[in-house]
Amino acid sequence: MNHLPIEVQQLFEYLKAGTSAFHVIDHTKKVLCEAGFTELKLKETWNLEKGGRYFCIPFDTTLYAFTVGENCDLSNGIHIGGAHTDFPAIKVKPNPEIFSHGYMQLNTELYGGPILSTFFDRPLSLAGKVVTRGERYDKPVSHLIDFKAPVLYLPNLAIHMNREVNEKGAPIDNQKQLLPMLGMVDEALNKDTKFVDLLADKLGVDAKDILDYDLCIYNLDEPQLVGIKEEFISAPRLDDITSCSALIHGLIDSSNADRVNLTFTLDNEEIGNVSKQGADSTLANIIIQKIWQSFGKNAVDCMTDISDGLMISVDVAHAYHPNHPSLQDITNFPVLNKGFILKSASNQSYAWDAEILGSLLDLCGREEIPVQRFVKHSNVKGGGTIASVSSSHLPMRTADLGVGLLAMHSSCEMTGLKDQVALAQFAKAFFQN
């Protein structure tokens, strides 16, 4: 991996570690601590210093990291970069055990909008969080868990039993057909086996102490370079770990003496942002106001100062697909390895205004960073991001941007190597300038 650009090495480390939103935050914490950042607790009073580097984890899938310039004047505002830690997935339900003619399977439900067919016929694993009993009922203990092994499998139906599969496809019944096989019933795995027993064995805890869990099923593929010149990246969870990696390392590697720089990585974007740890919460306001209050300013001062700031929502974009050209806009069709992408939509499903896009295009020109534009085909609805929601809570100029992707929401996605490098360079320049 040493031959890879540093920006891609950092991404690969994120992808390998970030098998759930919990693990994305865990890896981010390690990266920030190694870079000399100090952890703060949300409920404590903050005594910040100019030149300081800090982070806060209000909930275990959401993190805020920020730097305070050596000569910081809060009236200079703030630069904010946001991304999301979650990804479309299949999650394990409570009481999931299903026994069918000697097979043990797990009952599941969907999280977000994955391309379901891409989870079939490939080794799958489990990662997430398990909660056990604590000393107080309202203080349970959380444990990260990652099997890192092919413990699950979803086999397709043979073509002999679905002769028209290549012509008409194979509609998937979420309740009946998304039940992965865990193993065969034998002396070790029998009808008395509970799923929590397997979790307890993995964690080395008493199964009776397990209260609940939040586990997703993930594709075991590791990130790799593909293409005749190895110009593409293939990996699960590129949406949106590409952005988390670029923003966090961009914040670490930049320095701006005159203002506050802030990065947040939030949960629940894939299901609409509405949660205590999502973009449609008051957390960002609380964090920023605590920063301002630490330097003797009130909430009104804070909102006034940040109104002149800039915010970028970094999330993946739809790159031109050579087998489906008609689904792209006829004049704005970003191509892999031609630069990261600035997105806009007249209905603000992608946040933008002409001033901030003009500003970011100018920055890219000055720093010689390749950049492209994306606008949706007028007959295609497209997706959404954290941008418009975040800017409704933090009224400041906001833009949507990110690397282009093919196979978005597949269990394995594809982007351009040069685009990740461009995005990481842009993130550093955004916080630096």
Distances (CA, A) of 394 to 85, 154, 270, 286: 20, 43, 21, 11
Domain membership flag for residue 199: yes
Domain contains 156: yes
Q: What is the pLDDT at residue 221?
A: 97
Q: For residue 351, what pLDDT is reported?
A: 83
- Give a yes or no: residue 377 inside a domain: yes
CATH number, domain containing residue 361: 3.40.630.10
What is the reported pLDDT for 27?
Answer: 98
Same domain, 362 and 423: yes
Residue 2 pLDDT > 80, yes or no?
A: no
Domain co-membership, 356 together with 278 = yes
Residue 243, class by beta-carbon neighbours within 10 Å (0-12 exposed, 13-18 middle, 19+ buried)? buried
Token couple for 432: 């630096």
Q: Does residue 133 contact residue 141 with C-beta atoms inside 8 Å? A: yes
Last residue of a domain, one of 184, 219, 254: 219
* Amino acid 315: pLDDT: 96
Residues 203 and 334 both lie in one domain: no
β-pairing, 89-100 vs 310-314, is: unpaired
pLDDT digits (tens, 9 = 90+) for 199-252: 999 999 999 999 999 999 999 999 999 999 999 999 999 999 999 999 999 999
**Whether residue 324 sits in one domain with residue 248:** yes
Q: Which of 106, 60, 63, 114 is nearest to 87 (CA)?
A: 114
Q: Indicate if 385 and 273 belong to the same structural domain.
A: yes
Percent of the chain whose pLDDT exceeds 70: 100
Who has greater pLDDT, 192 or 77?
A: 77
- Asked whether the predicted pLDDT for residue 63 surpasses 80, the reply is yes
Amino acid at 366: R
Q: What is the pLDDT at residue 393?
A: 87
Q: How far is the C-alpha of 358 from the C-alpha of 392, rounded, in Å?
A: 21
> Where is the domain boundary, 219, 248, 266?
219
- For residues 327 and 382, state if they share a domain: yes
Helices in 151-194 by DSSP H: which ranges? 165-168, 174-177
Is 225 inside a domain boundary?
no
43 CB contacts (<8 Å, ≥6 apart)?
none
Q: Which of 91-105, 108-122, 137-151, 342-356 has the lowest mean pLDDT?
A: 342-356
Mean pLDDT (whole number) for 399-428: 97
| Residue ending a domain, choose from 219, 248, 273 | 219
Question: Does 224 reside within a domain?
Answer: no
The mean per-residue pLDDT over the stretch 67-75 comes to 95
Instruction: Say if residue 280 is in the same domain as residue 390.
Output: yes
Report the alpha-carbon distance of residue 394 to residue 409 in Å, rounded.
Answer: 28
Does residue 354 lie within any of the structural domains? yes
Cα→Cα distances 209→115, 117, 141, 188, 206, Å:
35, 36, 10, 21, 5
Q: What is the pLDDT of residues 315-341, one digit of tens each?
A: 999 999 999 999 998 999 999 999 999
Which ranges in 318-415 belong to alpha helices (H)? Answer: 354-367, 387-393
Q: What percent of the chain has pLDDT over 90?
A: 85
Instruction: Note whether 99 and 73 are same-domain residues.
Output: no
CATH number of the domain at 163, please. Answer: 2.30.250.10
State how many domains the chain has.
2
For residues 243 and 386, state if they share a domain. yes
Which of 2, 433, 1, 11 is closest to 238 using CA atoms? 11
104 and 80 housed in the same domain = no
Least confident of 26-30, 155-159, 352-356, 379-383: 379-383
3-state secondary structure 407-422: CCCCCCEEEEHHHHHH
227 within domain boundaries: no
Please state the separation of Cα 73 from the chain's center in Å. Answer: 32
**Per-residue pLDDT, 103:** 94
CA distance 191 to 201: 17
Q: Provide the residue range defining the domain that includes 118.
A: 89-219
Residue 382, pLDDT > 80, answer no
Residues 83 and 93 in one domain: no
Position 228 in a domain: no
- Collapsed DSSP state (helix, strand, coil) of residue 318: strand
Whether residues 82 and 93 fall in one domain: no
